Amino acid sequence: MPNAKIMGTGYYVPEHVLDNKFFESLNPLNIYGYNDEILKTINTSDSIIRQMMGIKERRMASNNRLMVELGIREKYLDIPDQNTADMGAEAAKEAIKDAGLSAENIDGIIVSTMTNLIGFPSAAAQIQEKIGAINACECYDVAAACAGYCLNLDIIMSRMQTNPGIYLAIAAEHMTSIVDYKGANSALFGDGAGAAVIGPSQSDKGLLFSYNLSDPFGGKLMYIYKNSENKLRMPEGNKVMLNAVKKMYECTEKVMQKAGWSKNDVDLYLPHQANIRIIDTLGAKFFHDYDKERKNENSRKIYCNIDRYGNISAACCAVALAEAREKEIIKDGSKVILTAIGSGLQTSSIAIQF
Ligand SMILES: CC(C)(COP(=O)(O)OP(=O)(O)OC[C@H]1O[C@@H](n2cnc3c(N)ncnc32)[C@H](O)[C@@H]1OP(=O)(O)O)[C@@H](O)C(=O)NCCC(=O)NCCS
């Protein structure tokens, strides 16, 4: 039975940078409870956003109507709007190039997304058409919110046993189209996409083990949801943070046990980029010498790009993986763990040996 090996990776983030000053311009903002009840009206600022979320800027896909509405652009520009599949296709092209293949070589495309706003056709089918993957015979989306990319890789790991071939695992998210710009959470999210080409391999390296947890109980089902106006709501942000640390830690430990790796064996941890406070708390649980400024080796093992991209939901892990390979932080032989949590609450981890 072949293993599933990562042959190439790529990512795409839109050109438009949305800095924290923009969110200051939206003041005052609301903090919502359930059923859109306004709990509090607050003012935000660059320094509060950096402190509370660890974000300096995020990217925004081109959206003429929204950008004019928000005062980002004065008028419609001659730049076409971008959707989730446009971003996913750009990331896919990079990954295919990195693998030294062409779109005709792709047998299957799986896209993790919760922002394929047209609903159907799937983002995967749209990407297949955009990149010209004429031989792909299974193209579908995985809707597991922020945990979607780990599950995507998990599915391909299994698929490699039952239908070996060359798969594209993509995560693409258009979060700026579902956030509520009247709400305090809007500064958390950004847009982007990441992709990996995965093929069969006889070596013992590749996607090795996964560990997943689903817990909608005790009210957690509604910790993160989309309301009837298609706006993202997170009425229990603080409880999400507590669960994120607890469950991502648990899943990471479990997948390490399955792989037979100790904490020190792992070369790079790629946690979901949900909030810098979650990433730092996880880091401190893993390494007693963890340092927020990343001044020592153990601290640098916890990958972090939330300052530049914000939370891109499922695309966080996909972009981080591609970026870490591009920067040669991940090299041949690296042991890597991806872990993410999102709406559901669904938590997933995967262990990869390069
Ligand atoms: C959204 C989030 C940043 C809010 O942080 P928090 O520490 O939970 O903040 P709270 O809602 O408890 O509010 C703390 C204080 O900050 C204020 N505040 C909250 N958001 C603010 C904002 N954007 N700007 C300014 N002040 C804000 C609140 O009014 C409150 O003030 P008070 O102490 O005077 O009452 C945080 O909950 C979070 O990141 N949650 C997890 C996100 C996540 O993991 N998502 C994963 C799935 S997508």
**Digit-coded pLDDT (tens) for 277-310:** 999 999 999 999 999 999 999 999 999 999 999 9
Buried b (16+ CB within 10 A) or exposed e, 275-300: bbbbbbbbbbbbbeebeeeeeeebbe
Mean of the per-residue pLDDT values of the chain:
97
pLDDT value at 1 more than 90: no
Which string of DSSP letters, residue by residue, matches 138-196?
A: EEEEE--GGGHHHHHHHHHHHHHHHS-S-EEEEEEEEGGGTS-TTBGGGGGB-EEEEEE
Residue 180 contacts residue 186 (beta carbons within 8 Å): yes
Residues annotated catalytic, as ranges = 146, 272, 311
pTM of the model: 0.97
Pocket of ligand 1 from Cβ distances under 6 Å: 31, 40, 42, 44, 48, 52-53, 146, 184-185, 187-188, 224, 237-238, 240-241, 244, 274-275, 278, 311, 313, 342
Query: What's the pLDDT tens digit per position in 172-203?
Result: 999 999 999 999 999 999 999 999 999 999 99
At residue 45, the 3 state secondary structure works out as coil
Domain presence at residue 315:
yes
**Domain span at residue 322?**
206-353
d(CA 341, CA 240): 9
Average pLDDT in the 343-354 region? 98
Among protein residues, the one with the nearest Cα to ligand 1's atom 25 is: 44
d(CA 84, CA 196): 16
Domain presence at residue 275:
yes
Domain presence at residue 189:
no
Domain presence at residue 67:
no
Under the banding of pLDDT at 50, 70 and 90, the label for residue 2 is confident
Question: Would you say the C-alpha torsion 203, 204, 206, 212 has a positive or negative sign?
Answer: positive
Domain presence at residue 50:
no
Among protein residues, the one with the nearest Cα to ligand 1's atom 20 is: 184
Domain presence at residue 32:
no
Domain presence at residue 51:
no
Among protein residues, the one with the nearest Cα to ligand 1's atom 31 is: 42
Total structural domains within the chain = 1
Domain presence at residue 273:
yes
- Give the CATH number of the domain where residue 284 resides: 3.40.47.10
